[in-house]
A and B are shown apart, each in its own frame.
With several copies, the nearest count.
Chain A
Amino acid sequence: MQLHVVNKSPFEKSTFESCLLHVKKGSSILFIEDGIFAALNKGKFSEKVKNALENYKIYALEPDVNARGMKNKVMDGIKLIDYSGFVDLAAEHDAVQSWL
């Protein structure tokens, strides 16, 4: 299984939607940089992400969440990790795909 890294805001770019269309069940998705805006509560994409949680393990990079002042808005079920956790995820999966 692979690790899919999304670094774009879903409001700005279609990257996250393309990722969802092409990720195999059981894979992991990690939001970093402006990608973390997909991980938040109560937004236009929250329902889509909530559904995705049933098929994928979803993570968000806490340093990027905190930088943007979104600490208390992360959706339940999304696991916050730091750079060390990012390294662990990359090591644990067979390959890393960056959705640039």
Chain B
Amino acid sequence: MKFGILINEGPYTHQATDSAYQFTKAALEKGHEIFRVFFYHDGVNNATKLTEPPQDDRNIVNLWSALAKEHNLDLVVCVAAALRRGIQEENLAEGFRISGLGQLIESGIQADRMITFGD
């Protein structure tokens, strides 16, 4: 089955992106396909490569980058939401790309199930 994921909150402040990550990983392990992970609202803040959490904490940005590399995931950051919040090509982490909201609608059309994580 093909899943589309929408993430509306940034890292650390809300658990949304942790939950989305665990869900995505579990879906991939069960052999499902992830059509796309779309980052909207504060969700775009998951895509900054300048994140450096304490040593004993998870690095959420790196977790997404690594999962994307391993499974060829499409991590899309909404351009309008990103510009509002200071995410641009120059601080974009590996594995993410910036694109338009149309990519979210397309995900809704192509995926069998769309799941939103947020606050």
Q: Do chains A and B touch in the complex (CB under 8 A)?
A: yes
Size category, B interface: 20 to 34
Chain A residues touching B, majority SS: helix
**CA distance in complex: A85, B29 (Å):** 12
State whether B15 touches A33 (Cβ < 8 A).
yes
Are B119's CB and A100's CB within 8 A?
yes
Given known A-B contacts A83-B22, A83-B26, A87-B30, A98 and B118 have beta carbons under 8 A apart:
yes
Q: Closest residue of chain A to B14, judged by CB?
A: A33
Specify which chain B residues have a CB less than 8 angstroms from the CB of A5 in the assembled complex.
115
A33, B116: Cβ atoms closer than 8 Å: no
CB distance from A7 to the nearest CB of B (A): 7
A13 to B40, CA, bound (A): 22
1/0 contact trace for B16-43 toward A, CB 8 Å? Answer: 1001001101110110100000000000
Q: How big is chain A's contact interface, by range?
A: 10 to 19
Complex formed: what's the CA distance from A95 to B4 in Å? 11
Q: Please report which residues of chain B, range 4-20, place their CB below 8 angstroms from some CB of chain A when the two chains form the complex.
A: 8, 15-16, 19
Query: Given A33-B15, A91-B32, A83 and B23 touching (CB < 8 A)?
Result: yes
Q: Is the interface of B mostly helix, strand, loop or mixed?
A: mixed
Chain B positions within 8 Å of A7 at CB level: 15-16, 19, 117
Residues of B within 8 A of A84 (CB): 26, 29-30
Q: Is A77 among interface residues, defined by CB-CB distance under 8 A?
A: no
Contacts of A56 in B (CB 8 A): none
B64 at the interface (CB under 8 A from A): no
Interface string of B106-119 (1 = CB under 8 A from A): 00000011111111
Tell yes or no: A90 within 8 A of B by CB. Answer: yes
CB 8 Å contact bits of A58-100 with B (1 = contact, 0 = none): 0000010000000000000000001110111011000110101
The 9 closest A-B pairs by CB, nearest first: A83-B26, A98-B116, A100-B118, A83-B22, A87-B27, A84-B26, A33-B15, A96-B115, A87-B26
